[in-house]
Structure 1
Amino acid sequence: MRYKVFIKTINIFILILLGTLTAFAQKTVVTGTVTDARNKQPLAYVTVGFAGTTIGASTNNSGIYVLTTANLAYNKIQVSFIGYKTTTIIITPGKEQVVNVSLTPDNRELEAVTINSAKRKKYTNKDNPAVELIRQVIAHKDKNRPEAYNYLEYQAYERMNFSFINVSENFSDRKFFRKYKFLLDNRDTTTAPGKNLLPIYLNERVYDYYYSKNPERKKTKVIGEKGVNYGSVLSSEGVGVYFKHLYQDVDIYKNSAVLVTNEFLSPISDNAPAQYKFFITDTVIVDGTKLVELSFTPRNTNDILYEGSIFITLDGNYAVQKADLTLNRKINLNWVKEMHINLEFFKNAEGRYILSKTTTTADFGASKSGKGGLFGQRSISFKDYKFNVPRPDTTYEGQQEITSDEVKHRSADFWSKNRQDTLSTAESKVYDNIDSIGRMKSFKRTVDIVNLIGFGYKQVGPVDIGPANAFYSFNPVEGFRLRFGGRTNIDFSKRVLLETYVAYGFKDEKTKFFLSGIYSFNKNSVYKFPQNYIRASFQRDTRIPGQELLFLREDNFLLSFKRGNNDKYLYNDDYRVSYTREYASRFSYTLGLRKLTQTPAGSLYFNNLNGGVRTSAQDLTSTEASVQLRYAPHEEFYQGKVYRKQFTNKYPVFTLNYNHGFKDVLQGQYNYNSVSLNIYKHVYMKKLGEADVWLEGGNTFGQVPYPLLTIHRANQTFAYDPISYNLMNFLEFVSDHYASVNIDQHFHGLLFNRVPLLKKLKWREVASLKSLWGGVRSENDPTTHPSLYEFPKDGAGAPITYALGSKPYVEGSVGIENIFKVLRVDAVRRFNYLDHPNIANWGIRVRFQFIF
């Protein structure tokens, strides 16, 4: 019996042995030792891998490695290590074999990293091991990004806070501030060493993120949000969006990131070796993995670049394990004393390094002494990563971010479970403190004063009175003009917005007025994104034909001062009804109906020749339907209570307008069609700065008089306007077909930063070029068709309105911005059509602006 058991055991052993041998016969197994060719000592943490693949391993402390693969196509191994020449060795696929390797030191590399304090060599990329390492990092970027996975998901916790810096502790003892003692005594001395912080803003978000690579789709689902509440006087959400826009997400694997409205080039961007100097400054071992610390600094300290260090793995993946980035302190940047970005990564089960936390801190210092200013911190922690776990298509489809009012009312238990970072003692009191001051009358009065100075409106209960800068103005037709108006706010209604004003001109002795009503189909606010509202309005007022300024109201007091002759106006009776709908994709449309009656005023007239007899028309009425389609990818807003401001980004904005005029409908006098397309693009140009580019074209179909043609945007004020022609006279050019290109270039001190005095002043160069092509077809030319209104002439009978000829209208400017940090001054030159009467060949234009 024992004999039979013994024979059976031997048979099983033989079968297992044969199976094992067969398995080994189907694999390639390479083992060996890596040594230094000079001293024969073993080398630890050397990267050994199958050539042309991501399959690799590192040698242990004894220099031993083991490589295994079932792919019989791999017939080479590659051995590489910093400071040594890379070696490639041919192997035999499908066999177990021993391959010992002796690495030869690269003497040129060793010399390049040797620092001789007595005689330092000039920095060069050639034969520089630090540069060779960063090029490996660049070459492996795509596979190290989390988006290299087909599917990716995680949960993130985001926290953003802002604090006043080093507010004197004596403030709470002063009579005016005693009522705010509970706020002023809530100090944080641990977050930023050497700074005494007074928290004033806090916002937290928890969200789930889903990513699909093919096709590429992203979805963010907010599951919790909590923020301070300043009450009705200030939009906390709007403040949060603005602060977030100042320091956006920094993905080190992307070529660049936009911080404080400027584009910063990543130290591992494709072009990094040409922009940065790299130095190997340390080697460390973290969790058994050898890392090289690479320090970097800008080649040109005037360029908008980082300085700092990154830690690179030597496991064959050349991944970033940690990054510490600081804004180059010598760059021409306003309002930011210092900014730091810290990126931390963890090693997942597959040996890949994935972002675990990002922290951005900024000191918006009011002075170099550090006695005041604003300190901000934004941190995002990531957990529960899942890789290559596909979800149903419905997970990724639809709008990119999903949120609701429900997520803003999560319980304390929810936050205790989902905060990946605990709040400091001072932070934990912010919510209650800000909620308290938001209800204080003294705080509301202070915000009212700020709104009056900054935005021109004074809140009186459910009504905002203003704008203050339009209360008084003057012009040649109306003389002294007084205006008083206002609008309702959200204390009146979130869904209904009413606006009105009454104006009176003491010269023409006419009363003007405006009435507007908006009803929003959104529950929150008329201006809340995405907008969905209907609007009706009537306006009886004056207007200058062709004046369409980008940033200022036409009746702003400062715009009363104009150059040249400025007495051709229109009295308008303007009835409008429109419906606007926005979508989460940033596509929107507006459908409109309009009846407009234009009556000439001042020295303007509507004359024509009917049967050879000159007659004057009292007014011109047009009735039209319109459609506007707008697409602004990834657009963000600063969302105020009753207004919003768009932030620029790198994506183009498309606006298509179509209008159809109806004859004999509501006294409409003409049938016509007009279409126009405007494309706006903010272009980041690295060393050359950035540019705003406008491309526009349009066409009017049908026979109409000149007031219904395109009257090109002119500017006779002394304010510089980016979209208008600053040396073109009002009503100087009209077209029924046109195309234009406008470029406004900001160089960020490209030249001035090399001049010591100008660099100290932080002045920056700007330039612009504007060109306009167009013309009037014979069907709309009053000299061919006398029944059309004559183009306006001056008192001597000389024409002042023209159609563009075979050459474009061109003007350009050069200037200086950032004077006192808020002023831009341009010298503008007009290059052609210089024979027109009363035109300016050149001029100085000024603009106030807030820029970083």
Structure 2
Amino acid sequence: MKLFCFLTLFFTLTLQAQIQINGIVTDSNNKPLPFATITTSENNSTITDIDGKFIFKISTSATSVTVSYIGFKTKTIPLITNKKFYAVTLLQKTDDLKEVVVSNENPALTIIRKAIASKSLNDPQKKLKTFEYKTYNKLIVTANPDSINGRIDSSAAYKDLDKKIIHIDSSDYKFKEIISKQHLFQTEKVSQYQFGNNKLKETILGTKMAGFKQPIYEVIAFNLQSISIYDPKYELLETKYENPIAGNAPSNYAYKLLDTVSIKGRDAYMIYFKPKRKRKASRLEGVLYIDKENFAVAKAVMRIKGVLDISGVHEFEYIPKDKIWFQSNTTFKIVKGKNDDDIKILGGTIQFDGDVEENFEPRKKVASDFTYLISESNSFDVRVNTTEPIKNASLYIEIKDDAAQKPESFWEAYRKENLDEKSQKTYVLLDSISVSNRIEKRLGIGRKILNGFYPIGPVDLDLKKIISYNNYEGFRLGLGGITNERFSKNYRIEGYTAYGTKDGAFKYSLGGGVLLDKHTNTWFNGYYADDVREIASTVFAVDKRVFKIYDPRPINISTFYEYSGWRGNIQTKIIPKTEAVLEVSRNYIEPKFDYLFNLNGRLYSSYIMTTAVLSIVWTPFSDVMQTPTGRNEADKRFPRFTFQYTQSLPNVFANDFTFSKIDFKAEYEKKYLNRQKTSLLLQAGYANGDVPLTHLYNTSPNNLTKETVVQRITFSGRNAFETMYFNEFFSSQYLIFQIKHGFDRIKILKKVRPSLVLVTRMAWGSMENPEQHIGQEYKTLEKGFFESGIELNKIYKGFGLGGFYRYGPNQLKKFEDNIAVKISYVIDLGL
């Protein structure tokens, strides 16, 4: 969701760039010199990129720039009024660089090893117990007007010397005209960072987003780059890469000593690093400036170059009293990289055109080639070893209620420099453009669609309720929705109705809720429902709604029970990193298949259940964001634990049975730097007392009872046993374990890039009091159930294929009966 909102803003809004000089630095053979140092006469500096190119914002009072590179003669270039491009050629020195490190190995590697060994002494989050500071951040999406050809291109067609058709292309002209006057998008933020007890909290004091009355909180929480340069996994645009000063980095990176320079009055080694092996997407390229005395990072440039060219720069100030380099400024930039494939995100709403047409002729440059994003943060008011306690320390980000309503005097106090005329116009013009083009509304609609809703006035239409299919109801046609903030921010009404074409019955639900506390998302809700549900299915009340255009597994389910009655619950996030639901319900249950429940000689074909349920999900390592509208999970991390306890209430509202159930789920996911991923799932349940089969466990089977493998081909389920037949096993206590390992996508053809996933599942279970269940034949899982398989997902346009094999004690006699072939479909939004 964060990435969706961020990229939507990045690519759908139009921005402007500032005046700057640019150029290229090469040697006498016209080969580019990467990471050459460029310093102005006012002692401001930058470096060239991997291609020897640079873009440098300079003061109007600067008179010259000095270009230096290890092994080459330093050159000073005078700045000429109105000249913006400089091609600089450096001549090689005849004398060699005097190495300050005497070693038989690469001197750069020696320096890096010392920097790695000294990390705990130089990392502020390791060396200092507490600290705090403030930052001012400004983010714009823009383009350099001087890079764009502003002519209006025209062409004419003639027939018999008569002009018939004139084609006019004015897109570049209009684009240049816009970015010469205003930025396309702009946002500002002032934050206070506090560190203590090994936790870093950001409190957003003020935020301002051009074109939006209320800021988009997902964009605010978007992690452009790692805050700490010492993180073992360095992050750029929410993608993690191996840090060049991580413990194992020397085995994966090559290092080269470029120069010795002065940073903030202290001598530093300038070390270039790159992956040892080409085409390693999990590794960075860039330059580290290592302090000669304490081997701390005094400046860093981190870059990844591919479809998008992304770079992050960290600058530091040295604090003599504490003998530590503390981060002072960061810069993050995205431009289009080298790419010959069109990049389409969200069905083409966001698009980068490829560099080569199918006929291999160079195409004309378009807006996406010139547009870039730049985010700059300046730190100030740094205080170390503070004693003031951190309020709500468990929160990762807290946005103050009045953060979006700060007066202009607030921003003037925190800005490093006043907004120029273009930036001032951006807020005014984008606010009006946002209204006229309904940008804020369209973004809100997109966010809701991803969650399965479409807003129509004060009601969000539930897309999941429109149509579905299963073997009992046939086609289930329905209509449902929930009121949104246009109806009320403190109350909601929701409901749905549906009709099954096969069972010929209507189903419905109607309910509502009242907000008790917006900061902790605490709601009191009440519902009445008359509907059907799969027998023996496990439903965690706290599980998040998952929206799919189709839900494949229920298609082949034929055994349901009807439930009708009411339920009331309280849902809350009052404890950070948890979400809880406490619910009481009373339902009339009627199995819609041949089944009787035997309790002390009395046979029940229907019954009443009054129960209380406590459901809690705990995410101890996730980052939580507190916004003026509630708490959200800013960064989903693993492991995640879900616990649920169900207790029947004897003699309450004519309840028929006495029982209790305990359900547990643990999820873990590990993403590797080589784009592989391992997922683990452990789930268990225990039912004690007199529990009908409808409310026991079936361990999620997903195989049809057909003769041949071809007849059994159907869609794969989510965490389902693909070779286990429907209604084959039932349990009153069970345990399942699943492990999946996904590899990076393999490019076979341009549009055929499958993702290989290895899957293994196993389950154990038993049934207490099997004599109570009459009419349904089934087996039990005391000996265990085992299956493994291979999935080739997203082979073409989201479609994939999987094969699974059943083995172990419950293996079937016929070989082909143990095989299941499944079709998968994954909607790829390009995020």
TM-score normalised by the chain length of structure 2 = 0.72
Contact 2:397-2:625 within 8 A present in 1 as well: no
- Measured at CA, do residues 203 and 843 of structure 1 come closer, stay the same or move farther in structure 2, by a change above 3 Å? same
Contact 2:537-2:696 within 8 A present in 1 as well: no
Counterparts in 2 of 1:199-214, with a 5 A limit? 199-200=184-185, 202-212=186-196
Q: How many Å apart are 1:470 and its aligned residue?
A: 3.5
- Matched to 1:745, the amino acid is H
Q: Does 1:345 align with 2:316?
A: yes
Counterparts in 2 of 1:422-571, with a 5 A limit? 423=419, 425-440=421-436, 457-467=453-463, 470-523=465-518, 530-545=520-535, 559=552, 562=555, 566-571=557-562
Q: How many Å apart are 1:377 and its aligned residue?
A: 3.6
Deviation by residue 1:57-79 (Cα, 9 ceiling, x = unmatched): xxxxxxxxxxxxxxxxxxxxxxx
- Measured at CA, do residues 634 and 229 of structure 1 come closer, stay the same or move farther in structure 2, by a change above 3 Å? farther
Contact 2:646-2:662 within 8 A present in 1 as well: yes
Counterparts in 2 of 1:115-194, with a 5 A limit? 127-147=105-125, 148-162=127-141, 187-188=178-179
Contact 2:184-2:430 within 8 A present in 1 as well: no
Q: Output the CA distance in 2 between the equivalents of 1:551 and 1:812.
A: 28
Contact 1:276-1:298 within 8 A present in 2 as well: yes
Q: State the match for 1:378 in structure 2.
A: 375
1:658 corresponds, among 632, 639, 645, to 645
Q: How many Å apart are 1:578 and its aligned residue?
A: 0.8
User: Which range moves more in the overlay, 827-836 or 544-553?
Assistant: 544-553
Rg: which structure is higher?
A: 1
Counterparts in 2 of 1:761-780, with a 5 A limit? 762-777=753-768, 780=769
Contact 2:536-2:693 within 8 A present in 1 as well: no
Q: Does 1:266 align with 2:267?
A: no
Secondary structure of residue in 1 paired with 2:721: coil
Q: State the match for 1:673 in structure 2.
A: 660
Deviation by residue 1:539-571 (Cα, 9 ceiling, x = unmatched): 2122222567999879965648845xx422222
2:257 corresponds, among 270, 280, 285, to 280
1:815 corresponds, among 767, 779, 791, to 791
Q: Output the CA distance in 1 between the equivalents of 2:333 and 2:638.
A: 27
- Matched to 1:222, the amino acid is I
- Kindly, what percent of the aligned residue pairs are identical? 20
- Measured at CA, do residues 456 and 696 of structure 1 come closer, stay the same or move farther in structure 2, by a change above 3 Å? closer
- Matched to 1:697, the amino acid is A
Q: Does 1:410 align with 2:388?
A: no
Q: Output the CA distance in 2 between the equivalents of 1:164 and 1:839.
A: 61
- Measured at CA, do residues 286 and 269 of structure 1 come closer, stay the same or move farther in structure 2, by a change above 3 Å? same
Contact 2:567-2:585 within 8 A present in 1 as well: yes
Secondary structure of residue in 2 paired with 1:429: helix
Q: Output the CA distance in 1 between the equivalents of 2:699 and 2:275.
A: 45
Q: State the match for 2:564 in structure 1.
A: 573
Counterparts in 2 of 1:794-809, with a 5 A limit? 799=777, 801-807=778-784, 809=785
Q: Does 1:368 align with 2:359?
A: no
Q: Does 1:237 align with 2:216?
A: yes
Counterparts in 2 of 1:593-632, with a 5 A limit? 593-601=584-592, 604-608=593-597, 617-632=604-619
Q: State the match for 2:16 in structure 1.
A: none
Q: How many Å apart are 1:211 and its aligned residue?
A: 2.1
Q: How many Å apart are 1:638 and its aligned residue?
A: 10
- Measured at CA, do residues 290 and 633 of structure 1 come closer, stay the same or move farther in structure 2, by a change above 3 Å? same
- Measured at CA, do residues 164 and 514 of structure 1 come closer, stay the same or move farther in structure 2, by a change above 3 Å? farther
Structure 1 or 2: more helix by fraction: 1
Deviation by residue 1:427-473 (Cα, 9 ceiling, x = unmatched): 43343344334444866886698579756544332122331x54233
Counterparts in 2 of 1:65-80, with a 5 A limit? none
Secondary structure of residue in 1 paired with 2:184: strand
Q: How many Å apart are 1:533 and its aligned residue?
A: 0.8
Q: Output the CA distance in 2 between the equivalents of 1:715 and 1:652.
A: 26
User: Which range moves more in the overlay, 373-382 or 501-510?
Assistant: 373-382
Q: Output the CA distance in 2 between the equivalents of 1:225 and 1:555.
A: 34
- Matched to 2:728, the amino acid is E
Secondary structure of residue in 2 paired with 1:405: coil
Q: Does 1:738 align with 2:720?
A: no
Q: Does 1:354 align with 2:330?
A: no
Q: Output the CA distance in 2 between the equivalents of 1:551 and 1:824.
A: 26
Q: Output the CA distance in 1 between the equivalents of 2:100 and 2:136.
A: 43
Secondary structure of residue in 2 paired with 1:306: coil
Q: Output the CA distance in 2 between the equivalents of 1:169 and 1:733.
A: 71
Q: Output the CA distance in 2 between the equivalents of 1:337 and 1:554.
A: 30
Secondary structure of residue in 2 paired with 1:138: helix
Contact 1:728-1:839 within 8 A present in 2 as well: no
- Measured at CA, do residues 824 and 262 of structure 1 come closer, stay the same or move farther in structure 2, by a change above 3 Å? farther
Q: How many Å apart are 1:187 and its aligned residue?
A: 4.1
Contact 1:263-1:686 within 8 A present in 2 as well: yes
Q: How many Å apart are 1:319 and its aligned residue?
A: 1.2
- Matched to 1:368, the amino acid is G
- Measured at CA, do residues 561 and 607 of structure 1 come closer, stay the same or move farther in structure 2, by a change above 3 Å? closer
Q: How many Å apart are 1:504 and its aligned residue?
A: 1.6
Contact 2:510-2:528 within 8 A present in 1 as well: yes
Q: Output the CA distance in 1 between the equivalents of 2:633 and 2:195.
A: 27
Q: How many Å apart are 1:520 and its aligned residue?
A: 1.1
Q: How many Å apart are 1:154 and its aligned residue?
A: 1.0
- Matched to 2:741, the amino acid is Q
Contact 1:547-1:730 within 8 A present in 2 as well: no
- Matched to 1:582, the amino acid is K
Contact 1:211-1:396 within 8 A present in 2 as well: no
- Measured at CA, do residues 375 and 287 of structure 1 come closer, stay the same or move farther in structure 2, by a change above 3 Å? closer
Q: Output the CA distance in 1 between the equivalents of 2:702 and 2:379.
A: 52
Q: How many Å apart are 1:298 and its aligned residue?
A: 1.4
Contact 2:264-2:317 within 8 A present in 1 as well: no
Secondary structure of residue in 2 paired with 1:270: coil
Contact 1:544-1:730 within 8 A present in 2 as well: no
- Measured at CA, do residues 229 and 328 of structure 1 come closer, stay the same or move farther in structure 2, by a change above 3 Å? closer
Q: Output the CA distance in 2 between the equivalents of 1:823 and 1:170.
A: 45
Contact 2:496-2:509 within 8 A present in 1 as well: yes
Secondary structure of residue in 1 paired with 2:722: coil
Contact 1:210-1:396 within 8 A present in 2 as well: no
* Aligned CA-pair RMSD: 4.1
Q: Output the CA distance in 2 between the equivalents of 1:448 and 1:766.
A: 34
Deviation by residue 1:567-591 (Cα, 9 ceiling, x = unmatched): 2222222522111121362223221
Q: How many Å apart are 1:677 and its aligned residue?
A: 2.1
Q: State the match for 1:223 in structure 2.
A: 205
